[in-house]
Structure 1
Amino acid sequence: MRRNKAECIGDIIRQYLRQEGLETPLNETRMAAAWSEVMGQAIARYTGDVFVKNQVLYVHLKSPALRANLMMGREALVRKLNEYVGAQVIQSIVFR
């Protein structure tokens, strides 16, 4: 038996997550996990806590020199991380 109104399971899951208000927390969790994947192991070694709050990614860094270097490319990092996750999750990054 073939259905005429078949839907992709991925679309159904996204619709359910959106209806239940779970899409944003899921994307925020994915964003925090994406930090080490996007930035690589060299930078991940100097990274402490990474979390998202109010569309701001907070990254605790153990190296002041690395913090200064990343501050210069903050706008590009925001774009790159949002593209990696596939949604507009963050608007800025705060390095601590």
Structure 2
Amino acid sequence: MGRNNDKPLKEAIEQLLNVYKLKRKFDETSLIAAWPELMGKAVANRTSQLYIRERKLFIRVESSVLKNELVMIRSEIIKRMNERAGSKVLDEIIFV
């Protein structure tokens, strides 16, 4: 005899995150953690102070050359990160 409310752990965790309105913050945190994997170690080592506020990703870039490169592929970075999250988490990237 199985219970009617049995569900996979993944589904239960997603439901929990949605009920307590933590899903968006969870997605933001996972994107920050995945930055080196998404952009590569070379870019990750030259960027710092990543954080997301109001659907904007803020990144400190020390190298002006790298900053220019990232500005040129800004829309691709946003697309890649939103695909990784599985929902629209980012609207804009701001380089500081």
Q: TM-score, normalised by structure 1?
A: 0.91
How far apart in 1 are the matches of 2:5 and 2:51?
A: 40
List runs of 5+ in structure 2 lacking aligned partners: none
Equivalence for 1:54: 54
Q: What does residue range 1-96 of structure 1 map to in structure 2 within 5 Å?
A: 1-96=1-96
Q: TM-score, normalised by structure 2?
A: 0.91
Contact 1:34 1:85 (C-alpha < 8 Å) held by counterparts? no
How far apart in 2 are the matches of 1:46 and 1:4?
A: 51
Root mean square deviation, CA, Å = 1.3
Instruction: Measure how far apart 1:73 and its partner are.
Output: 0.8
Q: Which stretch has the larger CA shift, 55-64 or 8-17?
A: 8-17
List runs of 5+ in structure 1 lacking aligned partners: none
Instruction: Measure how far apart 1:85 and its partner are.
Output: 2.1
How far apart in 2 are the matches of 1:5 and 1:18?
A: 17
Deviations 1:48-89, CA, capped at 9 Å, x for gaps: 110000000011111110000110111111000111122211
Percent identity of equivalent pairs: 31
Q: Which runs of 4+ in 1 moved over 2 A?
A: 1-6
Count residues with an aligned counterpart: 96
How far apart in 1 are the matches of 2:22 and 2:73?
A: 30
